[in-house]
Amino acid sequence: MNNGLIMGLLFSINSLFAFSRHSSLTLMSDIVFGAIIFITFYTTKRYRDKECDGQISFAKSHNYIVYSFFFGAIISTVVKFVYFKYIDPELLSEVVFNQSIKNFQTIGKTLSDEEVQLFKDFVARPLNFCFQFIWIDLFLGAILGLIISFFIKKKADNSNIEVNAES
């Protein structure tokens, strides 16, 4: 599915920007997210017009978007895993773990040394961290699919069928 490949590329770029150590690059992830929404709308509309003869049901449109996000999430997970495991292994503990600890402190939760170590062991594993994003991407696809499918759905034009039936 070509759209899944496109989504995988966009998800990968978005993740690399979002987890960057440079704040200017993290802002780029918002732009990429906007591109994901636009491209999802465009490709679903193109799918309706080219592959479905100009008509598509809400459910079929939604399934198309969720499948695209699923394949994109799988591709993106592989890219993230390679990046966090081999290219920049310190990024997980440096950015994600430290931010998580700050979030705990913000809500007033203090963690014991043992809890901090268990949390660090779990978060610092690239495979665990990357698999979480499959669910996040699928959830995003399901929600975005509901919204976009509402606008993309298009029923068949029955007026032409009725004219032909009278002849």
Collapse the DSSP code of 143 into the 3-class scheme (helix H, G, I; strand E, B; otherwise coil) and give the result: helix
pLDDT score at 160: 52
Collapse the DSSP code of 154 into the 3-class scheme (helix H, G, I; strand E, B; otherwise coil) and give the result: strand
Residue numbers of the chain with a pLDDT score lower than 50: 162-165, 167
C-alpha to C-alpha distances, 51 to 1, 38, 44, 129, 153, nearest whole angstrom? 13, 19, 10, 36, 14
pLDDT score at 130: 86
| pTM beyond 0.95 | no
Name every residue whose Cβ is closer than 8 Å to that of residue 88 and which is 6 or more positions away in sequence.
Answer: none
CA 15 to CA 11: how far, in whole Å? 6
pLDDT score at 26: 80
pLDDT score at 92: 77
pLDDT score at 1: 62
Rg of the Cα atoms in the chain: 21
Tally Cβ neighbours within 10 Å of residue 43. 18
CA 74 from chain centre, in angstroms, equals 10
